[in-house]
Amino acid sequence: MGKPQPIPTGHAAKDYKSEVKPIWCPGCGHFGVQAALFRALAQLDLPPEQVAVVSGIGCSSRLPAYTECYGFHGIHGRALPLATGLKLARPELTVIVASGDGDAFSIGGNHFLHACRRNVDLTCIVMDNEVYGMTKGQPSPTSPPDWDSKLAPGGARVSPLRPLAVALAAGAGFIARGFSGDPNGIAHLLVEAIRHPGFALVQVLSPCVTYRPEEKCWKQQVHAAGIEPTHDLAEAARRLFADDGLTTGIFYQAAPPPYPGAVTNAGGDLTAIEAQFAL
């Protein structure tokens, strides 16, 4: 943080990395997401000070401090409204949201729905490991119903959420999934997501090696969609409901109406506004 001089044009991925050492476990999928984000920002040649990474609470949400960008590490579940306020106030900034499956889909579920439909120009990365890692292993909204844990012996017995289908129904205009073991693939998705002029969701399957070691086998299970993104809602819905949850790629990209920005050069005058109160 706090580099002495603005970095000249032509950024390398390492320019976005701060000196703060991540708290993540060795082998955590989030390292791959971090690397992918830096590659995407470098590819877009965005000056670090023009990027803000906003997060809530959880392992994933520690990301802002590990970047050389501006960051806001807020409270659990509320990264999306925090980012919304920042982006509306400062539309010239690139605003990235770093979240996890508990943060985005459970405590922040309501904000997730409304961020999708509001369509403010944000890129929301949800590092989905199907578990609450920071609190040491409780089921999340994407956990399998029979996943055994201390808090839910024998499993939570609740159907997992389909976040991408929910996002589609809620009105998101860019819906993609990546895998943390493929940083170049995620970087590609993030470049497209950041370029997308509206709310963009990138779910990243990011194994929790400590509480969900079985997720290590995702590496063998994930598979690329291998088809072009559709802008057809019905086709996207068909793909998402037919999907096994391990398909990577951009599922849907369309252009719902953007959230209106501030009126520029509105030319309003406070004295004129106050005149309405005169007797």
Partner 1 sequence: MSVSVSPTDAVAIAIMGSGGAGAITAGGLLLEAAGRAGWHGLMTRSVGPQIRGGEALAMVRLATAPVGGHGDRFDILLALDWHNADRFVDETPLDAGSLIVADAEAGEPPAAILASGARWVTLPLEQLAKQVPAGRANIVALGVLARLLALPLEPLVTAGRTLASKGLDAAHLRQALAAGHDAAASRDLPVRPLPAAVAGAATRWLLTGNEAAALGALRGGVRFVAVYPITPATDLSEWLAPPLQRLGGHLIQAEDEIAALNMVLGASYGGVPALTATSGPGLALMTETLGLAVAAEIPAVVVNVMRGGPSTGIPTKSEQSDLNIALYGLHGDAPHLVLAPNSVGDCLFATQWAVRLSEALQCPAIVLSDQFLGQSQAVCDRPPANGMEAASRAVAMPGPGRYDRYALTADGVSPMARPGTPGGQHTADGLEHNAHGTPSSRAVDHQAQLDKRRDKLLCHDYGPAWAEVEGDGELAVLTWGSATGPVLEAAARARAQGLAVRVVALRLLSPPLPARLAALLEGARRVLVVEQSHSRQFYGYLRAHYALPGEVRVLNQPGPLPIRPAAVFAQLMQWR
CA angle centred on 32, ends 9 and 2, rounded to 5°: 40
273 in contact with partner 1 (CB under 8 A): yes
Say what the alpha-carbon torsion angle 56, 80, 102, 243 is, to the nearest 10 degrees. Answer: -140
Say what the alpha-carbon torsion angle 246, 169, 57, 127 is, to the nearest 10 degrees. Answer: 20
153/277 with CB nearer partner 1: 277
Residue written as token pair 């990577």: 248
170 in contact with partner 1 (CB under 8 A): no
Residue written as token pair 């040649």: 45
Closest CA to 134 of 219, 55, 45: 55
> Which one of 28-36, 156-164, 172-180, 264-272 is the stretch in contact with partner 1 (CB under 8 A)?
264-272
> Which one of 87-95, 136-144, 158-166, 170-178 is the stretch in contact with partner 1 (CB under 8 A)?
87-95
The binder of partner 1 chosen from 37, 42, 93, 98 (CB under 8 A): 93
Which residues, in sequence order, are bridge partners of residue 67? 17
Q: How far is the CB of 233 from partner 1 (least distance, A)?
A: 23
Q: How far is the CB of 223 from partner 1 (least distance, A)?
A: 35
271 in contact with partner 1 (CB under 8 A): yes
Pairing mode, strands 123-128 and 223-224: unpaired
The binder of partner 1 chosen from 24, 38, 70, 252 (CB under 8 A): 70
Q: Kindly state the tokens that stand for 15.
A: 């320019």
- By the 10 Å C-beta count (0-12 exposed, 13-18 middle, 19+ buried), 67 is classed as buried
The binder of partner 1 chosen from 28, 33, 35, 82 (CB under 8 A): 82
Interface ranges with partner 1 (CB under 8 A): 1-7, 20, 47-50, 52, 54, 64-65, 68-75, 78, 80-90, 92-93, 110-111, 113-114, 262-271, 273-274, 277-279
